[in-house]
Structure 1
Amino acid sequence: MKYRHLFFDLDHTLWDFETNADETLRHLFTQHDLQRHGIAVEKFIQVYSDINHGLWRLYQSNKITQQQLRVTRFPRTFVQLGLREEDSPAGISEQFTDILPLKSAVFPYTYEVLDYLQAKGYQLHLITNGFRDIQHIKLNSSRLTNYFQEIVTSECCGHLKPDVRIFQHALERTGATASESLMIGDNLECDVLGAHNAGLDQVYFNPEKRRHFNQITYEISCLSELKEIL
């Protein structure tokens, strides 16, 4: 067995962030009757998603704080939609943060693959930039908690992927060496490049088969393909 420790990303890799966020945003759109502003729910979701992704890139680059990300994304969405910041309903950011992690959609074959890897004797762990309180709720809601021995969040070690220090921290916590470890994630910079710089082999989860020119140890478009590697 070449690898003994498998480190997974959570959002966009196992937990289907886009599906769960879409459900949450549709719920909030209806709850706050946002249609009265003359905007379509699909446009609301698209604009929010674009802004949220941009703010997350800033957060992962240490250019904004967690709190700035949370309080900024909805007011910016409303401004981008041609409305005013004040049109953003009071408490909508907190409601989104409360509802989203209760959603349970995961990518196809998530449970089957994790069961297979456990049965094969691999030690499974998580490395995530997601907020600690929310990530643990997501894991419980989607019945993923019991698969993982260690859950390493950026908040618990003070460093965000792709900083090599979060990977080093994960190795220390699990008692693993880089040579016997494999990182599986959807983000070329945070997961793949970060793991590479820390000396870990990588699996790039690329379900949309985006074109790129990065050198990667393995690439898959479906989680079931992990069975061919491991």
Structure 2
Amino acid sequence: MEMRYAGRGKADHAAPGYPTAGMKQLLGFLHEKGIRTAVVSNMMKNSETLTLRINRFFPENHFEFIMTSCDYLFKKPHPRIFKMACAKAKLSAEKIWYCGDNLICDVKGSYQAGMSPVWYGACAKANQTLAEDIPYLTVMDWKELIQKIDRLIAKEER
């Protein structure tokens, strides 16, 4: 136990993380609606380290799995890490919405793997652009994503 704590502290200093506003509400909404969730990260620490960090911020999370590049040897935007996530989830890529804050790593990578990309622009680095014409949904806060998903669910129920 002490070694895990020490490792977690080092990871936090090297790459401090913090939850974005509205994330707790989004995760609660998705769970309530029966929408499955997972994490795919380019973090260069193992998934156990990232799981500890996520559990500290969101102890009630329902992520089915947490993957990091460190564990799978492929970094986003390589489509292989996204395809590995599909296999782990036992879902085809077309059924997955992938949300991320990087146009190249998250939007381009998930699109090339066959997923529907959602760009979270609130935390994005300035002046990000995509050279390719890739369709993706943009949200500037998680409440906006909740509203969009809620509208889609309402349409399907009609």
**TM tier, shorter chain?**
0.7 to 0.9
With over 3 angstroms needed to count, the CA separation of the structure-2 counterparts of 1:119 and 1:97, relative to structure 1, is: same
**Map of 1:207 onto structure 2:** 122
Instruction: Provide the residue aligned with 1:229 in structure 2.
Output: 148
Q: SS at 2:39's partner residue?
A: strand
Question: Which of residues 116, 119, 139 is equivalent to 1:220?
Answer: 139
Q: Name the residue aligned to 1:140.
A: 55
* 1:25-104 matches, cutoff 5 A: 97-100=10-13
| TM-score normalised by the chain length of structure 2 | 0.75
Deviates more, 1:141-150 or 1:174-183: 141-150
Instruction: Identify the range of structure 1 (137-146 vs 216-225) with the bigger mean alpha-carbon deviation.
Output: 137-146
Question: Are residue 153 (structure 1) and residue 65 (structure 2) matched?
Answer: no
1:205–1:219 Cα contact (<8 Å) kept: yes
**Matched AA of 1:163:** H
Unaligned runs of 5+ in 2: 1-6, 150-158
Poorly superposed stretches of 4+, deviation over 6 Å = none
Residue 127 of structure 1 corresponds to 40
Q: Distance in 2 between matches of 1:146 and 1:152?
A: 15
Deviation at 1:95, TM superposition (A): 9.4
Q: Does 1:106 align with 2:19?
A: yes
RMSD: 2.5
Pairwise CA distance, 1:143 = 2.0
Where 2:19 maps in the other structure, the secondary structure is coil
Any gaps of 5 or more consecutive residues in structure 1? 1-93
| Structure with higher RCO (Cα < 8 A, 6+ apart) | 1
Say whether the 8 Å CA contact 1:187–1:204 is kept in structure 2: yes
Contact 2:77 2:110 survives alignment (8 Å) = yes
Deviation at 1:186, TM superposition (A): 0.3
Separation in 2, partners of 1:104, 1:195? 22
Q: Is the 8 A contact 1:159 1:165 kept in 2?
A: yes
Q: Deviations over 1:115-157 (max 9, x none)?
A: 0011011000100111114312211221257320111211222
Cα gap change, 1:145 to 1:156, in 2 (>3 Å): farther
Equivalents in 2 of 1:104, 1:191: separation in Å?
18
1:118 correspondence with 2:31: yes
Q: Give the direction of change, closer, same or farther, for the CA distance of 1:153–1:99 in structure 2 (3 Å limit).
A: closer
- Equivalence for 2:77: 162
Deviation at 1:98, TM superposition (A): 4.9
Paired with 2:66 and 2:146, the residues of 1 have a C-alpha distance of 23
Q: What is the SS of the residue equivalent to 1:124?
A: coil
